[in-house]
Amino acid sequence: MKNNIKILSQALSNKIAAGEVVNRPESVVKELIENSLDAGATDIHLIIKDAGKSLIQVIDNGYGMNEDDAKMSFMRHSTSKINEFEDLENLMTLGFRGEALASICSVAQIEMKTKTGDEDLGTLIRIEGNEFIEVSKTSCEKGTSIAVKNLFYNTPGRRNFLKSNHTEFKHIYETFIKIAVSKPEISFTFYNNDEKIFDLKKETLINRIRDIFTERFAETLIPVNYEHSIIKLNGYISKPTFTKKAKQDQYLFLNGRMIYNRNLNFAVYSGYDDLIDKGDYPSFFLFIDIIPSKVDVNVHPSKHEVKFEDESAVFGFVRKGVKEALKKADLIFEVRFEDVLDLGNTEERLSMSNPAEQESKFNFKKNYTQNNEYNSPKINSGAKIHSILEASKLFTEKKEDESKNEDNQKHIITHKSKPVEEKFNIWQYNLKYILCQTETGLMIIDQHAAHERVLYEKAYSSLEAQSSFSQQLLIPVRIELTNIDFKIAEELKNELQNLGFNFVLTKNNFVELTGLPSDVRIGNEEKIFQELLDQYKDYELKLNLEKRDNLAKSYACRSAIKSGDRLTIPEMTNLIDNLFACKMPYVCPHGRPTVIRITTEELDRRFSRT
């Protein structure tokens, strides 16, 4: 009887393993740079061509290898990082599995030059598909240079699954940024198709962030420094007033290694408490240093996922660290009374008709004590505590009454629509929904979703027609962009101008904005432009959208009226008119409903009225 089970060849097993370690050019970049860092490099150069498809080269000034070690490094499970099982509990290196080079050389053509500090000549190795083509001596600098050419040349199916050069470059760019942020003490240069993208010198963390993300962005950050006997947290988080609508610029490192952990990300969000709105996301660059035995990094070949011995304790630690940073930054507000406040004549105070006079007696200060408790109000010795509460209650109730009257006031208007003209009441509820009383019942409109639909169809039409109207700015707005955002703006310049964004690209990654689409409210030009680019990047990574569709959706999402925006009666009626003039008025560009109708018959049925 013939045996069916056999041992796979080394070449075939390496190709199978490559699927776990190397799934796109970005994976190769990550593994090679991490090898350079583990080799003690202080200066690293990354060179790519065709988004890494034809060339990925990493050059470092690390320890280098002799000939025997250089040849051994391409063998599967060969590593200098660990010797025995117990070493896994004390890992501080980025790599340790000994799989990366073996996996890469099984699906690419490799050329390595390496030399140690005590050698006169270095070693040259050429490999194609796990086969050594050449091993010889060569003249080279101390350190290692490894060039990966024609990735997936012998697995065309894998190569066909790669995305466009623009998309693959973005993945490489993001990985390079993560590594550069994690190691500010290392110098990095990055070339793409012979164009220098970055030339980063040895710096402090905040200066490295400034060099990559612009100085203005760095000014929105506050430091985090919090520690325990076995764990430390340091880095930077964004101020509550500088959040984003997408989860971008969020970097979490564990013992110098970039990790992804939803629970710890949530720990950061929860540390802000009510300082940020739901749906807003802070930026952060946080480094967790913990005793290696308290965490398992041997979970997945990519090493992005880790398991903690006590994740709930780490969650609480991160949350506490963020809260402490916000407190020290003097961002938490409290209501205090001035020492000179005199409420002795309570009846006279309560009879004041002008609330502004009462409000002027309160001093809103940013203050928080180091013992994590709010300061007690300073009260004049002659004042009664119930007098303060009554005065505050009177003022608060009056303000609430005014707000309710303004938010829920009803207006009878005439709405002209085809084919009939009907009269109905209209009002804004909870600064989120528009309620309309029609002849047949009640119509409820989601103001954000409705405006998204209107803007999306208008934007898409403008992109197709390649024409639009702009409102010109009296004074141009100068915006500093990151390298990747500048390239996106450059790539989308014609389309953005068709939407109504008039701008000029200048040196050093600056954009001068001179005009906005007619639908955009003037006042937040920089924020709108930046959020549009951020949303475009987010959709490009997560959704397979055609360029015009992506840009129209991104523009609509970021420029639309938001929940919480107060609308006037003309604005509400204009939105309703524009919504029902759309080709598809009943859903937003993402598929959420824009309008719900409840008939009078349905209401009668619900209330058991026959």
Same domain, yes or no, for 62 and 189? Answer: yes
Q: What's 214's domain CATH number?
A: 3.30.230.10
Reference 172, options 154, 153, 148; nearest CA is 148
3-state secondary structure at position 330? coil
Q: Which of 202, 223, 240 is the last residue of a domain?
A: 202
In a domain, 602, yes or no: no
DSSP state of 414: E
430 and 372 share one domain:
no
Residue type, 491: E
Look up residue 100 and give its two tokens. Answer: 């990366």
Give the H/E segment covering residue 168: helix 165-182
CA 94, distance to chain mean position in Å, is 24
Q: Are 272 and 322 in contact (CB under 8 A)?
A: yes
Residues 460 and 534 grouped into a single domain = yes
Asked whether residue 109 falls in the same domain as residue 178, the answer is yes
Q: Examine the domain organization and report whether 514 and 429 are in the same domain.
A: yes
Question: Does residue 606 fall inside a structural domain?
Answer: no
Contact (Cβ atoms closer than 8 angstroms) between residue 558 and residue 245: yes
Cα gap 396→134, rounded to integer Å: 82
CA atoms within 13 A on the CB side of 450: 24
Lowest model confidence (mean pLDDT) among 10-14, 19-23, 184-188, 248-252: 10-14
pLDDT at site 513: 93
d(CA 161, CA 153): 13
Q: Domain tally for the chain?
A: 4
Nearest C-alpha neighbor of 337 from the set 373, 382, 372: 382
> Residue 412 burial (CB < 10 Å; 0-12/13-18/19+)?
exposed
- Of 176, 202, 228, the last residue of a domain is 202
First-to-last C-alpha distance (Å) of the chain: 82
Residues 396 and 501 in one domain: no
Q: 61: Cβ–Cβ under 8 A, 6 or more apart, which residues?
A: 41, 42, 43, 141, 142, 143
Mean pLDDT across the stretch 517-541? Answer: 84
**Measuring CA to CA, how many Å separate 78 from each of 96, 97, 103, 130?**
9, 8, 12, 14
| Number of helices and strands in the chain (H, E) | 20, 25
Which amino acid, one-letter code, is at 26?
Answer: E
Residue 603 lies in a domain: no
Euclidean distance between CA atoms 339 and 202, whole angstroms:
51
Lookup result for tokens 């500010």:
184
pLDDT digits (tens, 9 = 90+) for 105-123: 889 999 999 999 999 999 9
More confident residue, 293 or 432: 432
User: What proportion of the chain, given as a percentage, has pLDDT over 70?
Assistant: 76
Residue 273: pLDDT over 60: yes
pTM of the predicted structure, to 2 decimals: 0.66
Residue 187 within a domain: yes
Question: In this structure, is residue 415 part of a structural domain?
Answer: no
Nearest of 260, 359, 295, 326 to residue 91 by alpha carbon: 295
Q: Is residue 296 included in any domain, yes or no? A: yes
Regarding whether 353 and 455 lie in a shared domain, the answer is: no
Axis-axis angle for helices 547-559, 525-542 (nearest 10) = 140
587: tokens are 């859903």
1 domain-assigned: no
Cα distance between residue 84 and residue 98, in whole Å: 13
pLDDT band at 521 (very low <50, low <70, confident <90, very high): confident
- Whether 81 and 194 share a structural domain: yes
In this structure, what CATH number is given to the domain that contains residue 475?
3.30.1370.100
Mean of per-residue pLDDT scores for the chain:
80
Lowest mean pLDDT among 12-21, 175-184, 451-460: 12-21
Which residue, 79, 71, 78, 80, is CA-closest to 131?
71
CA–CA separation, 136 and 122 (whole Å): 9
Query: Token pair for residue 8?
Result: 């796979």
Q: Please indicate, yes or no, whether residues 396 and 540 belong to a single structural domain of this protein.
A: no
575 and 464 part of one domain: yes
pLDDT tens-digit series, residues 362-375: 332 233 333 333 33
Taking residues 319-337, report their average pLDDT: 70
Collapsed DSSP state (helix, strand, coil) of residue 46: strand
Distances (CA, A) of 326 to 3, 276, 317: 67, 12, 14
Phi, psi angle pair for 567, to nearest 5°: -115, 145
Burial class (CB in 10 A: 0-12, 13-18, 19+), 392: middle
Question: C-alpha 317: how far from its chain's center?
Answer: 22
Say if residues 256 and 184 touch (Cβ distance below 8 Å). no
- Structural domain contains residue 74: yes
CATH number at residue 68: 3.30.565.10
Residue pair 447/466 in contact (Cβ under 8 Å)? The answer is no
Q: Do 429 and 569 lie in a common domain? A: yes
Residue 522 phi, psi dihedral angles, 5° rounding: -70, 140
Residue in the block written with tokens 């009846």: 347
Boundary (domain end) residue, out of 202, 232, 256? 202
| Domain assignment of residue 439, given as a range | 425-596
Least confident of 163-167, 382-386, 450-454, 493-497: 382-386
Greater confidence (75 vs 119) lies with 119
437 and 481 fall within a common domain: yes
Q: Which residues contact 306 (CB under 8 A, 6 or more apart)?
A: 254, 259, 261, 295, 296, 297, 299
Per-residue pLDDT of 409-452, as tens digits, reads 444 444 444 333 344 588 999 999 999 887 888 889 999 999 99
What are the tokens at 495? Answer: 């389309």
